[in-house]
Amino acid sequence: MEMDKRTLIAIILSIAILVGYQYFFIKPVPLKPVTEQAKAVQKEEKKQEAVKPVSVPAAALPSEEKEIKVETELYSATLSSTGATIKKWELKKHKDKDGLAVLLQKERGAVPPLAVGPQNNFSLSKVNFSVSGRDINLTKGTNTSSVVFEYANPEYSIRRTYTFYNDSYKFGLKDEVANFPEYWITLGTDFGIHDRKDTTEHIGPVILKEADRIELDAKKLKEVKSYQGGLKWIAMEDKYFFAAVVPVTPIDEAKAWEVQDASIVAFKGKPGVNDFIVYAGPKEHDKLKELNLGLEHIIDFGFFSIISRPLFWLLKFFYNFMGNYGWAIVLLTIVTRIPFIPLINKSQKSMKKMQDIQPKMAEIKEKHKKDPQRMQKETMELYKKYKVNPLGGCLPMLLQIPVFFALYKILSIAIELRGAPFMLWITDLSAPDTLFGQAAGFSLGGPLPYLMGITMVIQQKMTPSTMDPKQAKLMMFMPIIFTFMFLNFASGLVLYWLVNNILSIVQQFYVNKKLAKETA
């Protein structure tokens, strides 16, 4: 098969992978047991006032719901005495077009956050608990505070303690239960999810079991799924945010199932003390790692994570001294291209040589069209005589594919790019360039994707080609196809591709000029 046919196949495969890339996943690095990771948090909680056991005899319970407001530097929350659950959770440091980023819908879903019950129907989410404590405001110098909810009937009892910290998205949750036949706790159907519309990444429950990141989808949960052993945490996630429950005391089982067209995941604990750390906030890798709870593995770096992780570190390194993620992307694109310069030069020279010997190859094909073996032999002799590698044109492209998809994944999921401006009209590198607005409900995009398409055309015109007319016509559509695809891509991704194309044009110009001198 001719070189350019191989190149064409590689390009088409790249597009196919690009469109479907969100379906590739990677197993995270094995974590230390969470019980060890949470020792520091356990010590901190022990400083709180000791909690007395709950007596089984039923106590007088309130007939009306009571709310507890929680204010910290990072979020505003509302707790409800109904089920001792969470009713509101807003992030103060993250906004959207409607205001603060909300990690809990105004109307609570089928099962509220942190619902608990003696069975996995979470029956206690509908009863009122008594409350010991008042509204919490940690923005005035206080570092930590707690509130206690209690419920008891003649059969069983539960005492729930929330412990909040001013400088962290995590909080402590302790459930002391007596006489429960089974103890279950869940994140509910909505907690942790801010945006359900952006489906480029997984939305819904995640379980980390040993080193396996298990993503669950309501459409596929037609029956209850059970997981046992090595359970690190359960979470509800969207592209940029999540909520997670990390067990401090050992947990034996987690289950996932469908509730009213939504997926739900829950832990099964034991009678006695069940201690957890709960997190509800952004997917900020470095800050999650500092918590030492293994939650940084909620960030899925994709199939090429071995490349994505160091590139992600490099992107943040460039940002630290440039102060602009747009210019950091430009610099990262340049740096990641440098190792491939020698290979690309050889590739471009090989393609030029292939173009030069095309007339001779056509003669061989015509002369030996009835003798394929002779045709192949003389073609190989022609390659040898002119020192041409028929695979030299597509090999560098194939080697660059893992780097491209690693960068694609980083620029798709990095919350650091959310709301990050570049220059001029580009005010959010995580959002598409929409400067030209819409027409008939269709996005017209902005200058960035069209500039990218123009550079693809220039690159095609400059690159030596041995294509037959049919292949050449097909390749003419590639810039158009890519331009329409990139209209809805994040500006950061389009910026990377544009800069990469410009670098390719510069390098191709240099090689063409050098070859022209050699043949003069």
**What secondary structure does DSSP assign to 153-191, as a single string?**
-SS-EEEEEEEEETT-SEEEEEEEEES-SSEEEE-TTTT
Question: Per residue in 244-263, pLDDT tens?
Answer: 999 999 888 998 888 877 78
Which two tokens mark 392?
A: 């030299």
Exposed, middle or buried, 39 (CB in 10 Å: 0-12/13-18/19+)?
exposed
Write out the DSSP string of 41-58: HHHHHHTSPPPPPPPSS-
Please tell me the predicted confidence (pLDDT) of residue 395.
Answer: 66
The CB density around residue 332, as the number of other CB atoms within 10 Å, is 24
Percent share of the chain, pLDDT over 70: 80
Please tell me the predicted confidence (pLDDT) of residue 441.
Answer: 63
What is the Cα–Cα distance from 339 to 331, expressed in whole angstroms?
A: 14
Please tell me the predicted confidence (pLDDT) of residue 508.
Answer: 79
Please tell me the predicted confidence (pLDDT) of residue 129.
Answer: 93
Please tell me the predicted confidence (pLDDT) of residue 409.
Answer: 87
Regarding beta strands 442-443 and 204-209, do their DSSP bridges make them parallel or antiparallel, or are they unpaired? unpaired
Question: Per residue in 391-429, pLDDT tens?
Answer: 665 666 777 788 888 888 888 888 988 888 888 899 888
Please tell me the predicted confidence (pLDDT) of residue 321.
Answer: 86
What is the Cα–Cα distance from 340 to 396, expressed in whole angstroms?
A: 7
What is the Cα–Cα distance from 151 to 397, expressed in whole angstroms?
A: 64
Whether 10 and 4 have beta carbons less than 8 Å apart is answered as: no
Please tell me the predicted confidence (pLDDT) of residue 45.
Answer: 44
Please tell me which of 148-162, 297-311, 361-375, 442-456 the model is most confident about, judged by mean pLDDT: 148-162
pLDDT of 5 strictly over 50 = no
**Half-sphere CA count of 464, side-chain side, radius 13 A:** 26
3-state helix, strand, coil in the chain (%, to 5): 40, 25, 35
What does the buried/exposed string (b/e) look like for 482-515 if buried means 16 or more CB atoms within 10 Å of the residue's CB? bbeebbebbbbbbbbbbbbbbbbbebbeebbeeb
What is the Cα–Cα distance from 344 to 4, expressed in whole angstroms?
A: 15
What is the Cα–Cα distance from 124 to 82, expressed in whole angstroms?
A: 8
Work out the average pLDDT over 111-134: 86
The mean predicted confidence, pLDDT, of the chain is 79
Question: Per residue in 177-230, pLDDT tens?
Answer: 998 888 899 998 889 888 888 778 888 899 998 888 888 886 777 788 888 888
What is the Cα–Cα distance from 288 to 279, expressed in whole angstroms?
A: 9
What is the Cα–Cα distance from 435 to 428, expressed in whole angstroms?
A: 12
DSSP one-letter code for 128: B
Whether 252 and 232 have beta carbons less than 8 Å apart is answered as: no
Which two tokens mark 19?
A: 């469109």
How does residue 519 score in pLDDT terms, banded at 50, 70 and 90?
A: low
pLDDT of 34 strictly over 50 = no
Please tell me the predicted confidence (pLDDT) of residue 430.
Answer: 85
pTM of the model: 0.79
How does residue 439 score in pLDDT terms, banded at 50, 70 and 90?
A: low
Q: What is the 3-state secondary structure (H, E, C) of 355-387?
A: HHCHHHHHHHHHHCCCCHHHHHHHHHHHHHHCC
pLDDT of 17 strictly over 50 = no
Which two tokens mark 451?
A: 């500039």
Task: Give which of 184, 194, 218 is closest to 115, Cα–Cα.
Answer: 184
Work out the average pLDDT over 479-501: 87
What is the Cα–Cα distance from 160 to 77, expressed in whole angstroms?
A: 17
The alpha carbon of residue 73 and the mean position of all alpha carbons in its chain are separated, in whole angstroms, by 26
SS3 state of residue 388: coil
Whether 77 and 265 have beta carbons less than 8 Å apart is answered as: no
What is the Cα–Cα distance from 302 to 25, expressed in whole angstroms?
A: 5
pLDDT of 234 strictly over 90 = yes
**Any idea which of 54-68, 316-330, 431-445, 480-494 has the lowest mean pLDDT?**
54-68
How does residue 469 score in pLDDT terms, banded at 50, 70 and 90?
A: low
Please tell me the predicted confidence (pLDDT) of residue 48.
Answer: 39
Work out the average pLDDT over 439-458: 82
Whether 89 and 148 have beta carbons less than 8 Å apart is answered as: no
**Any idea which of 70-74, 215-219, 504-508 has the lowest mean pLDDT?**
215-219
What is the Cα–Cα distance from 245 to 279, expressed in whole angstroms?
A: 7
SS3 state of residue 71: strand
Please tell me the predicted confidence (pLDDT) of residue 108.
Answer: 55
Please tell me the predicted confidence (pLDDT) of residue 85.
Answer: 92
pLDDT of 390 strictly over 90 = no
